[in-house]
Structure formats: C-alpha cells, structure tokens
C-alpha cells in the first residue's frame, strides 16, 4: 500500500511554534496589502471597458463588493478545512487535498489522493512562485516613479537591478526566520493602514469642502456604492478579485502556530475581514467619491484628459490624487505628501512579497519532505529553522520573473495573469476538496460544507474563464498576454509531470494510490 502524507513531514518538523493568533493573522494580512493594491490596480480598474468599448469604471465599488463576497466563499472553505486538519503543518491546501481522499473508507476514493495533492501543489506553485516576481516588478516600477518625481529617470537595466536587489532583501528577511518576518509584516500593516485611513479621510474631506470646486464623477455617495450596470459590476469584479487573494497564506504556518486548530481558521477570516471589508471598501469608496475633473492628465495622443480618463492615463493615479488634495486643502504640500504615501506603498509591497515568499517556500518544503519535489527545497537552516535553500532559489526565480515584468507592460500583465491562473485553480480545487472532505463526516453542514464551497468553486472557475476570455477576445496585446500566461502554466505543468514520472520510476510509486509504478 502506498503511503501518502497522512503523517505529514511538517507535523514532526523542527520548525518552532512561536506564532499566536496575531502573528498568524498579520502574515496573511500582509499578503492582501490594500495599500499596495489600491495604488497598483486603480489605473487598470479606471481604464477597463467591455468588449463593446463601454467604460465599467462607475461600477468599481460594487465590483469590489461582489468580488469580496466571492473571496469569502473560498475563505470559509479554507477555514473549515483548517479546523479538521490542524496537522497540515506547512503543506496548507496540498495536505488538505490528500487528506480529503485518504480519510475516506472507500478505496475508490483513496486511490485519487496523490493526483489530488499533486494538482493542488502545481497550482499553489504557479501562484506562490510567480506572484513574488510580480511584486518585484511592481516595486521596481514604484521606485522608478518615486525617483522620477525628483527628476531621476532610471533605464530598464537599472529597473531590473532594483528588482533584483529587492528580491535579495526580501529573501534575507525570510531567511532570518518567521518571527522577524512577522514583526516586519506587523510594522508594514500598521504603517499602510494608517496611511490608508489618512488618504481616505483626506479624499472625503476634499469632496465635502469643495462641493463646487469641480465636477465629480459620482453625483453623490449612493452613486459610488450602487450598481450602474450589472455587466460593469461583473467586469470590474474580474479585476477586483485579484486584490483579495492571500487570506489563505496563514494555512502554511501550521507548523509554527502555537495553536493551529484554533488560530489558523480564525486568521483566514479575520485577515480578509480587516484588509478586505474594512480597508479596501473604505479606501475605494473614498477614492471614487472624491474623483473629479480636477484630476488632469495627458492621454495617449498628448491631449488633456480629466476624471476617469486621467486616472486611466496615469501610472500612479492615487499619487496624483494625493498630490491634488494636498495642494488644495493642506496648503500646497501635495508633492511631499505624494512622496510619503508612495513610500508607504513601497513598504506594503515589501510586506506582500515577504508574505508570499514565506508561504511559497513552506509549501515547497512540505512537498520536498513528501518526496514530490527536489530534496534541496526541503532543507532547513540549523539556526533559523527556515527552508533556506528554497528561499534562495525563490530569490533567483523572483528576480528573473520581475525582470520580465519590468521590461514592458505586456510582460508585467503576462506574469500577473499566470499567477492569477494558479490562484483561481488553487482556490477552486480547495473549494472542491472541502466538499469531498466533509462528505460523510459528522461535522457536515449543508451550508458551510456544500453550498458555500460549491458557490466558491463556480465563482473561481467563472473568474478564471472570464479573465482569459476577455484577454483573448480583446486581441492585440491582451491576446498575447492571455496566451502567454496559458503557455507559462502549460510549461510548469509539463515540467512538473516530467519530474513526477522520473520519481515514479526511481521509487516505484504510482499516481494511483495503492498500486506500483509498473502496475
């Protein structure tokens, strides 16, 4: 009989249990990072159109709300699995997938356990190992933007070098251990949430004290939060869903949580509640409520544009808005204020990248301990108790992926879509594993263990298909980006398949649990 990870290597791991509920939660909160994503995604959201060419920007806030509901469907699934599988250690959904089948009494269920965990591991790596590279590229772009405010313009090679240095910095913090990472994440969360509250209040005050200063894109507060077009809400949600990912990252800290059964399920939901419901919805309301024709920019042909068009044309529309508001109601300090907020965004990106490093290498560590990935990735540092070799491999991979994203917008969108593809496959699979895991258990609840995960599965599949469909249908660069993302995913699948086949030949294992490789 083939043995899986029923007794997960992570369970007996020498990793130290030092994280309480706060520690687990802030690591997940850091990956969601609303301060970073408001700055990063607002331009894309402002410029989005339907295939017919109609703008969807007026439905930005309802689209965020719809996406948040979908995110909670998946978060509940992760939380429920973490309750019954507190021994997942560093394996997260990879462990959940196998246990969901091995816990069944029927051999016909058990035999699919290895295929389930390998599919989950493939998707997790496509997400967690590409995503840090996306953040490296965003950091390089942001640093270039900040220096550009002072008249310093970096070349593309210099941008790539900035990204490489940033990748090494993040890797070093992750290498030093989870406590140092947690303190960094906590500090980043405090700074960015403070900055976000300040920005949101500033934006709302700008609107309230300047009712005749400009023509606002939304007539009133109700216009911000009410749908204008259901198609617009759906299209906006395909972007908005991307900014809510990361709540599940704390499930990879089971080997370092003091009380994983109690704290990890709570941390999944608390992190999404704070960063998603409180931070995101508040700041997006403020940004949309305050946007007006006073925000001026230059369009593609150099012509003057305002409002949504100005936000769509700017590489940092939130920075431009802060500059405007600071000059208008704070005595002309807009430039300095924009620089300060940009720095807090850089810190938020640091926290996001670090959280993804920590999650990604821990899943790799669990798979290596389970002999499903190279042994090198399963080595722990003697002093810091971190998977140090996996961390340094990720540093190199992130620098390379970041360089691709730094070179061009097409490259940046391509790697972002590749990461998102992994995200939605991982989330969809985990929702399905929830249905499988709880089927027949005494804890089974129709709402939490069937309806919620089923809706989560459908929602993740719908988001995945919609995003890729929109890209391919759009033609041009969008088509190149979408097809390129699919190629990246396919290459990773082929490489993973080759590795599994070689290991099967060397060890006599089979994809079907309970049979030999030669059977």
Domain layout of the chain by residue ranges = 9-507
CB 330 within 8 A of CB 337: yes
User: Is 286:73 a contact under the CB 8 Å cutoff?
Assistant: no
As assigned by CATH, the class of the 9-507 domain is: mainly alpha
Is the predicted pLDDT of residue 477 greater than 80, yes or no? no
Confidence at residue 181, expressed as pLDDT on a 0 to 100 scale: 67
- Do 144 and 354 contact (CB within 8 A), yes or no? no
Q: Pick the residue with more confidence: 35 or 368?
A: 368
Question: Is pLDDT at 47 greater than 50 in this prediction?
Answer: yes
Cβ atoms of 152 and 434 closer than 8 Å: no
Say which DSSP state 305 is in: E
Q: Check residues 230 and 178 and name the one with the higher pLDDT.
A: 230
Specify the pLDDT at position 7: 42
For range 442-464, the mean pLDDT: 92
Least confident of 75-79, 173-177, 488-492: 173-177
- Tell me the C-alpha distance between 359 and 373, whole Å: 16
pLDDT value, residue 157 = 93
pLDDT of the residue at 350: 87
Residue 411 and residue 133: Cα distance in Å, rounded?
Answer: 11
* Count of Cβ atoms closer than 10 Å to residue 375 Cβ: 10
Closest CA to 239 of 30, 417, 458, 402: 417
Of the pLDDT bands very low, low, confident and very high (cuts 50, 70, 90), residue 192 is: confident
For the cut 80, the answer to whether the pLDDT of residue 374 exceeds it is yes
């Amino acid at each position: 009989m083939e043995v899986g990870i029923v007794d997960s290597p992570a369970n007996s791991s020498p990793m130290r249990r030092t994280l309480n509920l706060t520690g687990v939660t802030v690591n997940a909160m850091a990956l969601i990072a609303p301060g970073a994503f408001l700055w990063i995604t607002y331009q894309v959201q402002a410029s989005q159109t339907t295939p017919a060419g109609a703008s969807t920007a007026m439905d930005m806030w309802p689209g965020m709300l719809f996406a948040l509901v979908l995110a909670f469907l998946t978060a509940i699934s992760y939380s429920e699995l973490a309750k019954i599988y507190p021994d997942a250690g560093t394996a997260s959904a990879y462990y959940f997938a196998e246990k969901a089948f091995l816990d069944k009494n029927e051999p016909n269920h058990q035999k699919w356990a290895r295929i389930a965990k390998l599919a989950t591991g493939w998707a997790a790596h496509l997400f967690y190992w590409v995503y840090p590279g996306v953040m490296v590229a965003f950091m390089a772009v942001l640093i270039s933007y900040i220096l550009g405010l002072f008249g310093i313009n970096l070349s593309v090679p210099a941008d790539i070098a900035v990204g490489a240095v940033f990748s090494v910095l993040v890797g070093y913090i992750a290498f030093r251990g989870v406590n140092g990472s947690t303190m960094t994440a906590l500090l980043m969360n405090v700074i960015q949430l403070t900055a976000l509250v300040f920005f949101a209040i500033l934006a709302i005050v700008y609107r309230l004290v300047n009712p005749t200063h400009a023509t606002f894109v939304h007539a009133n507060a109700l216009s911000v939060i009410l749908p204008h077009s259901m198609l617009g809400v759906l299209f906006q949600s395909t972007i908005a869903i991307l900014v809510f990912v990361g709540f599940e990252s704390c499930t990879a800290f089971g080997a370092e949580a003091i009380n994983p059964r109690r704290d990890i399920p709570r941390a999944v939901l608390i992190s999404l509640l704070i960063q998603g419901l409180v931070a995101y919805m508040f700041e997006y309301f403020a940004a949309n409520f305050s946007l007006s024709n006073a925000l001026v920019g230059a369009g593609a042909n150099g012509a003057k544009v305002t409002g949504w068009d100005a936000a769509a044309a700017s590489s940092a529309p939130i920075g431009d808005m802060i500059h405007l508001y600071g000059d208008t109601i704070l005595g002309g300090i807009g430039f300095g204020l924009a620089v300060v907020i940009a720095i807090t965004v850089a810190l938020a990106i640091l926290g996001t990248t670090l959280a993804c490093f920590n999650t990604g290498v821990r899943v790799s560590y669990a798979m290596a301990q389970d002999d499903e990935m190279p042994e090198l990735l399963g080595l722990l540092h003697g002093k810091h108790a971190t998977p140090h070799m996996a961390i340094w491999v990720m540093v190199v991979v992130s620098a390379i992926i970041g360089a691709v994203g730094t070179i061009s917008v097409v490259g940046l969108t391509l790697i972002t879509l590749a990461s998102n593809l992994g995200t939605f496959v991982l989330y969809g699979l985990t929702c399905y594993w929830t249905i499988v895991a709880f089927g027949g258990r005494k804890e089974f609840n129709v709402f939490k263990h069937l309806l919620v995960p089923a809706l989560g599965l459908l929602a993740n599949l719908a988001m995945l298909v919609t995003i890729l469909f929109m890209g391919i249908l759009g033609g041009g660069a969008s088509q190149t980006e979408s097809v390129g993302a699919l190629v990246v995913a396919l290459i990773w699948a082929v490489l993973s398949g080759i590795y599994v086949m070689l290991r099967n030949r060397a060890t006599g294992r089979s994809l079907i649990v309970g049979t030999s490789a030669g059977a």
